[in-house]
Amino acid sequence: MDRKLVDELLETARNMGALRAEMFTIDQIAFDQRVLLKCFFGCPGGMPYCPKPGDVSNSLVYSELIRKYEWGIIIESDELKRGQKITLELESRAFLAGKTFALGATECECCDKCAFADGGQCAVPRNVRPPLYALGIDVYKTVNQLGWELSVVQKKGDPARNITAVFIE
């Protein structure tokens, strides 16, 4: 692992407004395919990054692929748009530093009005990445294992935290 790159990515995340950013090793990620059940039952979904019921076998493959990464940066932000922007920037910096398989995991919040959600074509498909749960990752368990506190939002309007990550070989 390149300590200089880790420090640069952490500093970049914080300078861009991350509430928290921390390096992790892949063995600190909690994989659990049950997270997909929350996508299939109870969520309206329909976004380009959303898993579909036929994707269960794909998500097993995705989690195996993610396990091939060595480390990464996990990010906490107070809004989706900021979290996505930070994640994509860290992914880009890692790629330019020679980590060519760097991959961000984040929900999409690029546009003020999502054309895809309205049945159209995504306006910025190059910015779409899978969120952590679509990769079979239990976000709550993962961040708790890292010593972070993350609780379920109890009611609309309560502050929410967005958790994203960049996986690096």
**Residue 113 pLDDT:** 80
* Domains contained in the chain, number: 1
CB count within 10 Å of CB 167 equals 26
Query: Which 8-state DSSP code applies to residue 29?
Result: S
Q: What range does the domain containing 56 cover?
A: 3-152+159-168
Alpha-carbon dihedral sign for residues 114, 116, 122, 123: negative
For 30-87, write each residue's pLDDT tens digit.
998 888 777 777 666 666 667 666 666 666 778 889 999 999 999 999 988 999 999 9
Tell me the sheet residues that pair with 74.
22, 165
Percent of the chain with pLDDT strictly greater than 90? 50
- Rounded to two decimals, what is the model's pTM? 0.88
